[in-house]
Chains A and B, each alone.
Chain A
Amino acid sequence: DSGVTQTPKHLITATGQRVTLRCSPRSGDLSVYWYQQSLDQGLQFLIQYYNGEERAKGNILERFSAQQFPDLHSELNLSSLELGDSALYFCASSPRARINTGELFFGEGSRLTVL
């Protein structure tokens, strides 16, 4: 158990809908990262927040948005869903802004299926 909690574990929805994925980082970790893992693309970095502020942005679509709240939990919002958005979405946390120790703690992921 990494200490990173993601909900829901599984989610099935229809095209055009909107969903929210939630992540609670390890106690004391200030950075939260979101990754998307699909079969053909591997793990793709979406976005990072550090202590409530957006820190880095990767291949995140405009239909997706995220935020980190004062209690450090984070939410990833996916809207106007398309079939291609079906993937495993991981949240990871680390203590600082940079991955100094090289260690990200990953949650178990939220599997999104868009029908």
Chain B
Amino acid sequence: EDKVVQSPLSLVVHEGDTVTLNCSYEVTNFRSLLWYKQEKKAPTFLFMLTSSGIEKKSGRLSSILDKKELFSILNITATQTGDSAIYLCAVESGYGGSQGNLIFGKGTKLSVKP
């Protein structure tokens, strides 16, 4: 059965800290891995990763994928209180011309204290 496991499930840090969120997966026919940020309600897209070893970066956030070891990490440097959210990892699986479905992990709840 396809699965996506995120760790830790929750994390409390102070402003200015650097955090690393983990996502491991076991899926058949991997297509891509995605990170989302969910603050209050709707998840918002952060990154999409398809190739190993290529870092995606947006401001203080960065992410990288390891397709051999089947995991990805999301780094947040110099954290701010506005980074407090649930970070969701999702993997798209599928094959041939069929639609890839997103399998989500349970998320990591990050709390950044002032």
Contact = CB atoms under 8 A, between A and B. Distances in A.
Interface string A39-81: 0011111001010000110100000000000000000000000
Contacts of B45: 102-104
B32 A102 contact: yes
Contacts, number: 61
B104 A43 contact: yes
B112 interface: no
A42 B44 contact: no
Contacts of A4: 42
A109 B41 CA distance: 7
Nearest to B4: A42
User: Size class of A's contact patch?
Assistant: 20 to 34
Contacts of A90: 42-43
Given A99-B100, A102-B32, A108-B42, 16 more contacts: A2-B44, A35-B104, A42-B105, A42-B107, A43-B43, A45-B103, A48-B99, A48-B101, A56-B101, A90-B42, A98-B100, A102-B48, A102-B92, A106-B42, A107-B42, A108-B41
Given A42-B107, A48-B101, A109-B42, A101 B48 contact: yes
A20 B106 CA distance: 26
